[in-house]
Amino acid sequence: MYRLNKTALKILRAEVQKCSGNDQVSKIEQEIVSKRLEKLSQEKGSPAELDELRDSVIDIYPQFSEKVLKQAAKANQPSGIFRKIKWATILLGGSAGILWLINLPYPMIRWPVAKTAPILLLPSYINMDHHYREAIKNLEQADQLINQATSAVDIEQGTLKAKAAQKNLDNLPVWFLGYYPQAYCNFFGCTWKFTVDEFETARQRVARIEAIAFQDKNALKPLVQAEQLVTIARQQYEKAITIKDKENAIASWQAAIDQLEQIPDATFAGESAQTKLKAYQRDFDNARIGTFIAAAQEFDLEAEKIQATQPKAASELWEQALKRLNQIPTENPRYLEAQRLLAGYQVKLKTVVDPRSDTYIEAAKQFALAAAKASQNPPHSVAKWEQIAKLWRKSIDQLENIRVEEPGYVAAQKLLAEYQTNLGIIETRRTAESEAQASLAAANEQIQSLIASPPSEPQQFKGRIQGIINRLKTIQAGTTAYPEAQKLLASAQKKLQN
């Protein structure tokens, strides 16, 4: 006899169709429930009752009709003639009926029998041993399927295995463990000890696995939804004609990626999302940067057309172009392309707004750029620091040519404050380098003098060594003299200790 007959299966399938939608998530849910029902219809054993049928559908479809479940459970029961035969067999079976009675899970019946004729309890012992081993097996399979899941099907199968393990544990009478677990083990000659603690541990493990499965199932829905949103946004972007449409698609694309990032990492869906995010983010960045550049070029073309007649409107368009290009990060492959466009648009914008101050500011920036490049990879010599300081002074001189009444005055003052700060830093570095070179030269002279005429008294010798050490310690890090000073310092300290 199969656990779910065709009539009951047909009733349940019809209700599943009513509860399902037409989207991708609903199709997955429908497939999961259908597989559960199909499995019951292929298993042999006692007919599935109302609670088991409800467990098969209620976690996916909370709205599943209770009336339909009861109808299916009733249709799944064997006909009246079979039930009568079953009870007649039990009642008329004589010794078989007595054996069934004394194997019931009631201590007041089993305890006297266990003392006098324990062999009569063999059927229930075999049944308990079977459920114990099945519980362990199902638990291991559930653990593997849930914690090493490779698909949504694994999670579903792991959930079913956890439920099967729970049913096996429910068939193990806990009272038995408190009465005579030792006799049970001796009777079979078993080597394992099934105790109350082990039973509780197994139950806790089932609960933990079911909780993980529940979290995984909950996370699968936002994963599917986010992936659908990414696909839709990508399609919208590819079909977009205007820059505005492209930017709207980019915004939707970003929202979908944000939703993927919010899926908990500890779930199977979270791991899948993290794996896919790299590809999604790469495609999104390419589309986003491409849109920025395309928008900037479009603004530039429009500004060129109206520059002569509408200079203010043209300047606003170039400002929009600069705003888009400034959002392109330095690590992006198209950054240099964006910077070339940026430089050209800045020249056009400043020509329209303020040609005179633009020239001075541009010249100041060129000197500042040269100074910044020259400052790279310090330390430098005193002469090099002086050369860098001259570049900063020239940059400052250019900015000081811009008068208060000119439109570029405020921008020039901001740059002026920054460049004067940089000049002060360079002057400090030059002074430190000059002092370090002087201290190193003085220390070398002291060393040569000590070598040429060492004192005869040890205390005098150590005093002169200490003087050299004190001189070397004044040399600051970040100067060209510092590495050599550190070597001499180590040598002098070693001499002092000998």
Residue-wise pLDDT for 366-425, tens only, equals: 999 999 999 999 999 999 999 999 999 999 999 998 888 776 788 899 999 999 999 999
Q: Work out the burial of residue 98: count CB atoms within 10 Å of its CB; fewer than 13 is exposed, 13-18 middle, 19 or more buried.
A: exposed
Say how many CA atoms lie within 13 Å of 496 toward its Cβ.
15
252 or 200: which leads in pLDDT:
252
Give the angle 178-184-189 at the CA atoms, nearest 5°: 145
- Predicted pLDDT of residue 126: 64
Query: Picking from 192-201, 204-213, 446-455, which range would have the lowest pLDDT averaged per residue?
Result: 192-201
d(CA 33, CA 242): 45
Looking at residue 386, its pLDDT comes to 96
Please check the confidence at residue 153 and state whether its pLDDT lies above 70. no
pLDDT-based confidence at residue 99 (cuts at 50, 70, 90): low
pLDDT value of position 186:
43
pTM above 0.75, yes or no: no
The pair of three-digit structure tokens given for residue 270, joined into one six-digit string:
């979270």
Q: What is the DSSP string of 171-228?
A: TS-HHHHHH-HHHHHHHHT-S----HHHHHHHHHHHHHHHHHHHHHHHHHHHHHHHHH
Structure confidence at residue 358 (pLDDT): 76
Binning pLDDT at 50, 70 and 90, where does residue 353 land?
low
Looking at residues 148-166, what average pLDDT do you find? Answer: 69
- pLDDT band, residue 92 (cuts 50/70/90): very low
Please provide the average confidence, as pLDDT, over all residues in the chain. Answer: 78
Assess whether pLDDT exceeds 80 at residue 477. yes
> Which amino acid does the sequence have at 441?
A
Q: Averaging pLDDT over each range in 31-40, 115-124, 392-401, which range is the top one?
A: 392-401
Most confident of 135-149, 170-184, 439-453: 439-453
Q: Which residue has the higher pLDDT, 209 or 254?
A: 254
Per-residue pLDDT tens digits for 233-244: 888 888 888 888
> Would you state the pLDDT for residue 163?
78
pLDDT value of residue 423: 95
Q: Which of 352, 364, 350, 369 is nearest to 401 (CA)?
A: 364
Quick check: helix, strand or coil at residue 497? Answer: helix
More confident residue, 212 or 316: 316
Task: pLDDT band for 145, please (50, 70, 90 cuts).
Answer: low
Amino acid 250: pLDDT: 84
Average pLDDT for 345-354: 74
* Of 62-66, 257-261, 450-454, 459-463, the least confident: 257-261
What is the C-alpha to C-alpha distance for residues 190 and 169, in angstroms, rounded to an integer? 19
Supply the pLDDT for residue 179.
Answer: 46
Q: Is the pLDDT of residue 293 over 60?
A: yes
User: What's the rounded Cα separation, in Å, for the pair 433 and 441?
Assistant: 12
Q: Tokens 């901001």 belong to which residue?
A: 414
Long-range contacts of 491-495 (CB under 8 A, 24+ apart): 492/465, 492/468, 493/469, 495/465
**Residue 251, pLDDT score:** 86
484-487: long-range pairs with CB below 8 Å, 24+ = 484/440, 485/436, 485/439, 485/440, 485/443
And the tokens for 449? 């003098």
Nearest to 362 by CA among 156, 354, 318: 354
pLDDT at 413: 93
At 280, the pLDDT band (50, 70, 90 cuts) reads confident
Confidence tier at 60 by pLDDT (50, 70, 90): confident
